[in-house]
């Protein structure tokens, strides 16, 4: 039985699903459809076994900011990962795939890799495994690099396409690939749909480690040396594998499509027609959210009155969203930002992010809730010289031993139990108890209990930025700027 090593790419930052997806917490880590996040659903889809193969523990490629989110969400899903490789900086998919291939090839040159983005929706896990089984047979028997093509059901201009050598016969058998096609205009997309030999490019690939490394050596040899050095000099850090940053920075920023796939002549496509979406726009979310007979899809505390073809989402439990007499709208309400867009402009949402960046609006990239390995916090009030936060610390978690140069803090416990260190004094605090942290004092906050601990923090001082932290000890091995 073949062993398939999933390689999950989850370092990307989506902008087309703003304001829910932002740089600080992108869409793959958000439960957009159902209760599980897209990343968790992806990892669960690639567990267990299929016809003639079984999945190994997944290898993860992500960045430093997301490493604890990845670990926590896999733990919640009950999945033990393989290597979690930390990219020092984003270099696109080609270096990431090559790094995973080199790492796994060192253990088994004939290892079969299934490379997948973490932010796709594939509802039929059984059908997906059947497609993987066909891809495994093709990769092992022919030595082909295999990609998965999605049978189109409308003339989509937001996807790239794959032109097959013949029309798929409906059996799911692999077909040789003729060429890649860039995102078309509407007229071209309509012609390709009518032709029947074009499929959407899913960005999911399967190949052996030996074959993909050979392809890189032939078509993108300039990537081999820096990526190999980054992998061989990687350092283990709390169970993560940090790629060596200097070598990694020398690797070209290029996608695997451009670096290898569009140049190789041993490519096959496995057609797939059992449901797929890359959730690349709010219209895709609308379609998968189960709209009613009037085309109304709702999420959260929402009321719709005489609406047609709308997506209404309220992401705050305390914010009631009411739509009345509106049509063809996307409305996504969060505590710090609201998107109102015509359905036809869904692909242009990223322009809003660009405009917000230009005016230095923090909402462009940062969520109101800041997630950390120990829990999360949100700012309730922010003034020129004061800030009020709500801080939630997970059971058994601990903030770093730290001090601040520009602010003092006052902590009031409102739920659970806190273990507080201020200088040489250590004390336990319960609900309604408080403590003052003078400017410059070395301090730490811990949750020794079995339930979440919640406190209100009042900061006062001349500078309230998150970079005013000097760390002395940290169980999560974060640096001063991490």
Domain boundary among 243, 272, 301: 272
| Cα-based distances in Å from 328 to 18, 296, 299, 323 | 18, 9, 16, 12
| Cα-based distances in Å from 56 to 36, 145, 318, 422, 428 | 21, 20, 42, 46, 44
Tally of CB atoms within 10 A around 465: 9
Residues 175 and 118 in one domain: yes
| Cα-based distances in Å from 257 to 261, 264, 287, 471 | 5, 10, 28, 42
Select the more confidently predicted residue: 379 or 479.
Answer: 379
Cα separation, 120 vs 278, in Å, equals 4
* Cα dihedral value 224, 255, 54, 125, nearest 10: 170
User: pLDDT-based confidence at 480, cuts 50/70/90?
Assistant: low
Domain boundary among 325, 358, 391: 358
Q: How many helices (H) and strands (E) does the chain have?
A: 11, 30
What's the confidence (pLDDT) of residue 158? 84
Residues 152 and 174 in one domain: yes
Residue written as tokens 């490019």?
Answer: 201
Residue-wise pLDDT tens digits, 364-409: 999 989 989 999 999 999 999 999 999 999 999 999 999 999 999 9
| Residues 181, 160 contacting (CB under 8 angstroms) | yes
Residue-wise pLDDT tens digits, 108-148: 999 999 999 999 999 999 999 999 999 999 999 999 999 99
Residues 171 and 107 in one domain: yes
- Average confidence score pLDDT of the chain: 94
| Residues 313, 333 contacting (CB under 8 angstroms) | yes
Please report the sign of the dihedral spanned by the C-alpha atoms of residue 253, residue 259, residue 261, residue 262.
positive
Query: Cα 394–396–397 angle (5° rounding)?
Result: 60
Q: At what angle do helices 93-105 and 221-232 cross, to 10 degrees?
A: 60
Cα separation, 150 vs 267, in Å, equals 16
In a domain, 363, yes or no: no
Residues 6 or more apart whose CB falls under 8 angstroms from that of 220 comprise 94, 252, 254, 259, 260
Which CATH number do you get for residue 460? 2.60.120.10
Question: Could you tell me how far CA 473 lies from the centroid of its own chain?
Answer: 29
Percent of the chain at pLDDT exceeding 90: 90
Cα separation, 116 vs 46, in Å, equals 10
Residues 323 and 462 in one domain: no
User: pLDDT-based confidence at 237, cuts 50/70/90?
Assistant: confident
In a domain, 478, yes or no: no
Residue-wise pLDDT tens digits, 26-46: 999 999 998 899 999 999 999
Cα separation, 15 vs 9, in Å, equals 17
Q: Three-class SS of residue 80?
A: coil
Residues 6 or more apart whose CB falls under 8 angstroms from that of 104 comprise 5, 7, 59, 111, 113, 209
Percent of the chain at pLDDT exceeding 70: 99
Cα separation, 319 vs 337, in Å, equals 12
Q: Look up residue 250 and give its two tokens.
A: 């020398």
In a domain, 480, yes or no: no
Cα separation, 289 vs 283, in Å, equals 10
Q: Look up residue 355 and give its two tokens.
A: 């405009």
Question: Could you tell me how far CA 474 lies from the centroid of its own chain?
Answer: 25
Residues 258 and 287 in one domain: no
What's the confidence (pLDDT) of residue 15? 86
What is the rounded average pLDDT of the residues 193-203?
A: 95
Q: Three-class SS of residue 353?
A: helix
Burial (CB < 10 A; 0-12, 13-18, 19+), residue 316, is: middle
Residues 292 and 257 in one domain: no
In a domain, 431, yes or no: yes
What's the confidence (pLDDT) of residue 482? 56
In a domain, 364, yes or no: no
Strand 2-9 to 112-117 pairing:
parallel
Question: Could you tell me how far CA 202 lies from the centroid of its own chain?
Answer: 16
Residue-wise pLDDT tens digits, 331-356: 999 999 999 999 999 989 999 999 99
What's the confidence (pLDDT) of residue 481? 55
Residues 161 and 27 in one domain: yes
Cα separation, 177 vs 180, in Å, equals 8
Domain boundary among 311, 327, 358: 358
Residues 246 and 315 in one domain: no
| Cα-based distances in Å from 102 to 70, 96, 314, 413 | 22, 10, 44, 49
Domain encompassing residue 406: 369-473
pTM for the full predicted model: 0.89
Cα separation, 224 vs 210, in Å, equals 13
- Number of structural domains (the chain) is 3
Q: Look up residue 19 and give its two tokens.
A: 């304001």
């Amino acid at each position: 039985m073949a062993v398939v090593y999933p390689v999950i790419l989850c370092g990307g930052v989506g902008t087309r699903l703003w304001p829910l997806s932002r740089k600080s917490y992108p869409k793959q880590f958000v439960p957009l459809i159902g209760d599980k996040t897209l990343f968790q659903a992806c990892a669960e889809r690639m567990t267990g076994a299929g016809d003639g193969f079984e999945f190994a523990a997944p290898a993860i490629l992500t960045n430093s900011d997301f490493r604890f989110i990845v670990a926590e969400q896999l733990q919640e899903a009950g999945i033990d990962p393989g290597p979690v490789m930390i990219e020092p900086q984003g270099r696109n998919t080609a270096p990431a795939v090559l790094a995973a291939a080199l790492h796994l090839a060192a253990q088994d040159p004939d290892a079969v890799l299934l490379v997948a983005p973490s932010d796709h929706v594939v509802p039929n896990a059984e059908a997906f495994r059947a497609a993987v089984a066909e891809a495994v047979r093709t990769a092992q028997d022919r030595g082909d690099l295999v990609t998965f093509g999605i049978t189109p059901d409308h003339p989509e201009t937001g996807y790239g396409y794959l032109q097959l050598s013949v029309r798929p016969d409906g059996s799911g058998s692999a077909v040789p690939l003729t060429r890649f096609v860039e995102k078309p205009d509407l007229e071209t997309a309509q012609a390709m749909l009518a032709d029947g030999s074009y499929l959407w490019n899913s960005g999911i690939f399967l190949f052996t480690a030996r074959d993909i490394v050979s392809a890189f050596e032939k078509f993108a040899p300039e990537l081999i040396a820096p990526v190999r050095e980054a992998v061989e000099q990687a350092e283990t850090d709390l169970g993560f594998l940090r790629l060596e940053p200097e070598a990694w920075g020398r690797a070209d920023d290029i996608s695997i499509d451009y670096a290898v796939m569009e140049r190789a002549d041993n490519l096959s496509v496995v057609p797939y027609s059992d449901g797929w979406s890359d959730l690349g726009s709010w219209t895709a979310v609308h379609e998968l959210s189960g709209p009613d007979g009037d085309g109304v899809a709702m999420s959260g505390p929402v009321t719709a009155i005489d609406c047609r073809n709308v997506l209404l989402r309220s992401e705050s439990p305390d914010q009631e969203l009411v739509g009345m007499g509106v049509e063809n709208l996307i409305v996504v309400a969060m505590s710090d930002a609201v998107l109102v867009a015509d359905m036809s402009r869904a692909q242009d949402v990223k322009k809003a992010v660009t405009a917000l960046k230009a005016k230095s609006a923090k909402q462009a990239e940062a969520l109101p809730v800041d997630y950390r390995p120990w829990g999360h916090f949100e700012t309730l009030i922010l003034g020129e010289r004061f800030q009020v936060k709500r801080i939630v610390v997970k059971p058994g978690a601990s903030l770093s031993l730290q001090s601040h140069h520009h602010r003092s803090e006052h902590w009031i416990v409102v739920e659970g139990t806190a273990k507080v260190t201020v200088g040489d004094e250590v004390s336990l605090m319960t609900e309604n108890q408080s403590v003052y942290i003078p400017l410059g004092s070395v301090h730490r906050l811990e949750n020794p209990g079995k339930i979440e601990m919640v406190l209100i923090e009042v900061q006062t001082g001349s500078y309230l930025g998150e970079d005013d932290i000097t760390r002395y000890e940290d169980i999560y091995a974060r640096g001063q700027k991490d």
